[in-house]
Amino acid sequence: MSTLRILIADDHDVVRQGLRALLETQPGWEICGEAATGRETVEKTRKLKPDIVLLDIIMPELNGLEALRRIRKARPETQVLVLTMHESEDLIGQALKAGARGFMLKSDAGRDLITAIDALSRRKPFFTSKVEQMVLEGYLEGAAPGATEEAPRSRLSAREREIVQLLAEGRTNKEIAARLEISTKTVETHRSSIMHKLNLHSVGELTRYAIRNKIIEP
């Protein structure tokens, strides 16, 4: 039997250490790497080629949802299990739409994580009972989570979503340009487009938008 390679992505050292300690007890499972930012997660997925990525939603530099989209595009065979402390129908829906094969609250990890990874290793999706109930209730109420195509954030391009996060994290136009390897003028153009699409008028409003939509933590 081949070794199951797992990448742990969370911006908190203690969480990564705890997950590593739990998973390394399983025979045939290997922690092939760790990542502390969304961008690092995408890069290490490309480089290390893990079978499964454990991914937090709120990550610096590139949030988990955007990292998930890029992982699925770069390496569709990698299964992604979202592991987060945030619970909402909308967030679950966004994660599923982005390509997550499983969604789990961190509070359930001690009980269900091993089972979840085993399911994903066999190409089967996994959701805890609480998450399944939230998804079911959303559909029964006629508002399937993540299905609102006209939500403002859905009109942003991948690059614009990335810039929203960096602006909300307090980066200047020049810092963003250097990080993304584009011109400052291009950043300014994207920034203007973002403000227009979201009907925002200041970085403060944009930061509140980012917090409200779980792009960054308050």
The token pair that represents 186 in the structure block:
């291009």
Domain end (from 120, 140, 160): 140
pLDDT of residue 186: 93
- Give the 3-state secondary structure of residue 125: coil
> Under 8 Å CB-to-CB from 157, ≥6 apart: which residues?
none
Residue 142 above 90 pLDDT? no
Q: Number of folded domains in the chain? A: 2
Query: Which amino acid, residue 131?
Result: V
Which one is predicted more confidently, 191 or 153?
A: 191
pLDDT of residue 135: 65
- Report the share of the chain in percent with pLDDT over 70: 89
How many angstroms separate the CA atoms of 26 and 60, rounded? 30
Domain that holds residue 166: 152-212
Q: What is the mean pLDDT of residues 163-189?
A: 92
Looking at residue 206, which CATH number applies to its domain?
Answer: 1.10.10.10
Length of the chain equals 218
Domain end (from 82, 115, 140): 140
Residue 150 above 50 pLDDT? no
Q: Name the band, by pLDDT with cuts 50, 70 and 90, for residue 137.
A: low
Residue 140 above 60 pLDDT? no
> What mean pLDDT, rounded, does the chain reach?
87
Q: Of the candidates 162, 136, 143, which has an alpha carbon nearest to the alpha carbon of residue 65?
A: 162
pLDDT of residue 136: 65
DSSP type of residue 2: P
The token pair that represents 171 in the structure block:
């980066």
Residues 97 and 157 both lie in one domain: no
Domain end (from 140, 167, 190): 140
- Give the 3-state secondary structure of residue 180: helix
Residues 125 and 207 both lie in one domain: no
Considering 8-17, 143-152, 195-204, the range whose residues carry the highest mean pLDDT is 8-17
> Under 8 Å CB-to-CB from 21, ≥6 apart: which residues?
none
Backbone φ and ψ for 78, nearest 5 degrees, come out as -75, 130
pLDDT of residue 149: 41
Q: What is the mean pLDDT of residues 80-92?
A: 83
Residues 81 and 175 both lie in one domain: no
Q: Number of helices (H) and strands (E), helices first, in the chain?
A: 10, 6
pLDDT in tens, 32-51: 999 999 999 999 999 999 99
The token pair that represents 11 in the structure block:
């911006």
